[in-house]
């Protein structure tokens, strides 16, 4: 039997039962103003990652190489935007300044966005989009797995919902990275180039700052570097099956998590926010 | 409405069983298993709904359809609540709903393949010994293949029957 990425979808019913019995989940902690600010920051990071990647992936709609892939990318984008509504909705609710998920998505400027730089990278070719997706999905899946045991039940229930969707994202992106990596000479060459192109942007997913430490100590979210081993296991396994060579570079591009972005984000926001900026409050 | 004249929750469940899913109109919202609770809070009817996929565009339409149906039946005070946990699973689609899906040309989710079962199905598939049979809803043949993991909506995958050669949607498990 071929080796498999570890994609075990946790048994949600068992987790729910454990939680009901007061086991499994970390004990709730007292919410101080500092911890609340760190939690809002964490939720913005989760929601901005899914929002910006969802928008990027949606740019493929109508342009994919075949109809099935067009539909698959659009559906993946839809899942990510749906998860954004949950994360940013909770961020706005906890922040308590009457900002809705829509306000947060459409009315913040680039420096207020908290997504990692990886997700704002340009799409490149189809292979590059799939490689970026795979590197993100592998992280997303280990992150949501850990978040199901969050000491904050609101975070845990969003994670339990999202992980079911993300399990399909990871399965699909891993399959395609393998198929294209272990494909023709041309597809192999492009996938290796895509891997090297995106590699130095993956490290930011595992770097912690003060707010990461605060939510980790409160048992709300895992410490970012604790996800590294799980991510490595999935990535190494898939790259091996894809006959791709894991880059040796250790340089980490970072800044997105604290609002310092590449110029690409500005173009995404110009496109995404145009309507609400030009016609404030427009609804349909 | 006077409390003694409030319709029973059983009656409300029956009304909801007449509301079709906006994207797959052959099955109702109760067949789909997304109505989590119906209860009276004083003289206000509270209907608790769980989303299928977090980004499903039908969610808004479903809420509107519920509201329209219950208003038509004379419910004056109504509150819709969203419940995320426990997350919806295809295991909650009723047996009747599964048959209606098949008649409509959509292969229903294979029982017990949600969550952990899905992983085992993947292991079997990769090892070439898959026992996860998606039968063609048109001719009943088990000789089918997956075309794409995503179909016309996020909840479906695209399949093809290798006997009758018809393409079909498979309602995949989550």
HEC readout, chain B: CCHHHCCCHHHHHHHHCCCECCCCCCCEHHHHCCEEEEEEECCEEEEEECCCCCCCCHHHHHHHHHHHHHHHCCCCCEEEEECCCCCCCHHHCCHHHHHHHHHHCEECCCCCCCCHHHHHHHHHHHCCCCCCCCCCCCCCCCCEEEEECCCCCCCEEEEEECCCCCEEEEECCC
Query: Scanning every residue of chain B, which has its alpha carbon at the shortest distance from the alpha carbon of A4?
Result: B123
The answer to whether A172 contacts B150, with C-beta atoms less than 8 Å apart, is yes
Instruction: Say whether both B47 and B77 belong to one domain.
Output: yes
Are the CB atoms for A84 and A50 separated by under 8 Å? yes
- Cα dihedral across residues B130, A133, B52, A158: positive or negative: positive
Does one domain contain both B95 and B75?
A: no
In a shared domain, residues B46 and B67? yes
From chain A residues 164-183, the ones with a CB under 8 A of any chain B CB are: 164-165, 167-168, 171-172
- Cβ within 8 Å of A, B 42-71: 51, 53-57
CA angle B114, A4, A159 (to 5 degrees): 45
Distance CA A99, CA A178 (A): 42
Report ipTM for this prediction: 0.80
Tokens at B133, concatenated: 């049979």
Domain boundary among B82, B116, B140: B82
How many degrees, rounded to 5, is the angle at CA B123 between CA B119 and CA B128? 145
Note whether B117 and B47 are same-domain residues.
no
pLDDT of res. A83: 97
CATH (domain of B40)? 3.30.300.130
| Shortest distance, CA B2 to any CA of chain A (angstroms) | 35
Q: Does A8 touch chain B (CB under 8 A)?
A: yes
What pLDDT score was predicted for residue A4?
39
Rounded distance, CA A27 to CA A19, Å?
Answer: 10
Are both B45 and B118 inside the same structural domain? Answer: no
Strand, helix or coil for residue A4:
coil
CA-closest candidate to residue A222, choices A69, A15, A46 = A46
Take residue A39 and report the two structure tokens written for it: 């939690």
* B127: contact with A, CB 8 A cutoff: yes
**How near does any CA of chain A get to the CA of B63, in Å?**
16
Domain ends where: B65, B82, B99?
Answer: B82
Within this chain, do residues B116 and B156 fall inside the same structural domain, yes or no?
Answer: yes
Interface of A with B in 231-250 (CB under 8 A): none
Which residue of B54, B116, B154 is in closest CB contact with A75?
B154
Domains of chain A in start order, with CATH, are 32-278 (1.20.1260.10)
Question: Which residues, in sequence order, are CB contacts of A30 under 8 Å at separation 6+?
Answer: none
Tell whether B22 and B63 lie within a shared domain.
yes
- pLDDT one digit per residue (tens) for chain B, 174 residues: 555 688 999 999 999 999 999 988 999 999 999 999 999 999 999 999 998 888 888 888 999 999 999 999 999 999 999 999 888 888 888 889 999 999 999 998 876 555 444 454 554 454 444 456 788 999 999 899 888 878 877 788 889 999 999 999 998 877
- So what's the pLDDT on residue B4? 62
Do B101 and B166 belong to one domain?
A: yes
Q: Binning pLDDT at 50, 70 and 90, where does residue A22 land? A: very low
Q: From residue A169, how far is each of A14, A100, A162, B112 by CA, in Å?
A: 23, 27, 11, 21
Q: Which residues of B touch A165 (CB under 8 A)?
A: 53-54, 154, 174
When divided into structural domains, chain B yields a total of: 2
Residues B76 and B8 grouped into a single domain: yes
Let me know whether B46 and B104 are in one domain. no
Which pTM was predicted?
0.87
H/E segment holding residue A195 = helix A185-199
Q: Using a CB-CB distance cutoff of 8 angstroms, which residues of chain B are in contact with residue A1?
A: 123, 126-127
Are B141 and B114 within one domain?
Answer: yes
Six-digit token pair at A160? 């339990």
What CA dihedral angle connects B133, B134, B137 and B139, to 10 degrees? -50
Final residue of a structural domain among B82, B103, B118 = B82
Residues B91 and B88: their CA atoms lie apart, in Å, by 8
Domain of B150 in residue numbering reads as 90-171
CA distance A152 to A28: 7
Contacts of B115 in chain A (CB under 8 A): 9-13, 164
- How confident is the model at residue A5, as a pLDDT? 40
Tell whether A193 lies on the interface with B, counting CB pairs under 8 A: no
Same domain, B7 and B55: yes
**A20 at the B interface (CB within 8 A)?**
no
- CA–CA dist B136, B163 (Å, integer): 9
């Amino acid at each position: 039997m071929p080796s498999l990425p570890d994609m075990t979808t946790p048994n949600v019913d068992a987790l729910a039962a454990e939680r009901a019995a007061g086991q499994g989940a970390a004990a709730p902690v007292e919410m101080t103003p500092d911890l609340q600010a760190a939690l809002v920051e964490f939720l913005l990071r989760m929601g901005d990652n899914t929002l910006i990647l969802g928008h990027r992936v949606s740019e493929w709609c109508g342009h994919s190489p075949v109809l099935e892939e067009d539909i698959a990318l659009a559906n993946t984008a839809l899942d990510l935007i749906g998860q954004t509504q949950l994360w940013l909705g909770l961020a706005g609710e906890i922040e308590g300044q009457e900002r809705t998920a829509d306000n947060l998505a459409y009315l913040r400027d680039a420096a207020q966005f908290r997504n990692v730089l990886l997700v704002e990278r340009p799409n490149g070719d189809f292979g590059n989009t799939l490689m970026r997706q795979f590197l993100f999905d592998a992280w997303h899946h280990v992150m949501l797995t850990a978040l199901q045991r969050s000491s904050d039940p609101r975070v845990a229930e969003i994670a339990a919902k999202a992980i079911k969707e993300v399990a399909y994202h990871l399965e699909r992106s891993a399959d395609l990275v393998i198929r294209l990596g272990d494909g023709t000479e041309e597809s192999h060459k492009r996938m290796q180039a895509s891997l090297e192109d995106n590699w130095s942007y993956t490290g930011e997913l595992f770097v912690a700052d003060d707010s990461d430490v605060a939510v980790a100590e409160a048992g709300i979210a895992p410490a970012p570097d604790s996800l590294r081993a799980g991510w490595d296991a999935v990535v190494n396994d898939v790259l091996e099956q894809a006959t791709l060579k894991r880059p040796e570079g250790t340089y980490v591009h970072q800044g997105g998590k604290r609002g310092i972005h590449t110029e690409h984000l500005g173009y995404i926001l110009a496109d995404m926010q145009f309507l609400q900026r030009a016609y404030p409050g427009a609804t349909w | 409405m006077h409390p003694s004249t409030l319709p029973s929750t059983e009656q409300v469940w029956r009304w909801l069983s007449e509301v079709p899913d906006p994207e797959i109109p052959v099955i109702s919202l109760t067949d789909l298993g997304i109505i989590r609770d119906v209860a009276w809070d004083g003289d206000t009817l509270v209907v608790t709904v769980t989303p299928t996929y977090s980004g499903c565009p039908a969610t808004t339409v479903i809420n509107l359809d519920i509201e329209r149906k219950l208003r038509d039946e004379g419910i004056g005070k109504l509150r819709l609540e969203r419940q995320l946990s426990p997350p919806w699973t295809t295991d909650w689609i009723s047996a009747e709903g599964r048959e209606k899906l098949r008649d409509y040309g959509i292969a229903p989710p294979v029982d017990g393949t949600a969550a952990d079962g899905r992983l085992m199905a993947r292991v079997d598939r990769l090892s070439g010994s898959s026992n996860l049979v998606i039968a063609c809803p048109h001719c009943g043949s088990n000789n089918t293949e997956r075309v794409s993991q995503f179909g016309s909506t996020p909840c479906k995958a695209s399949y093809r029957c290798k006997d009758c050669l018809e393409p079909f949607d498979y309602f995949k498990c989550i």
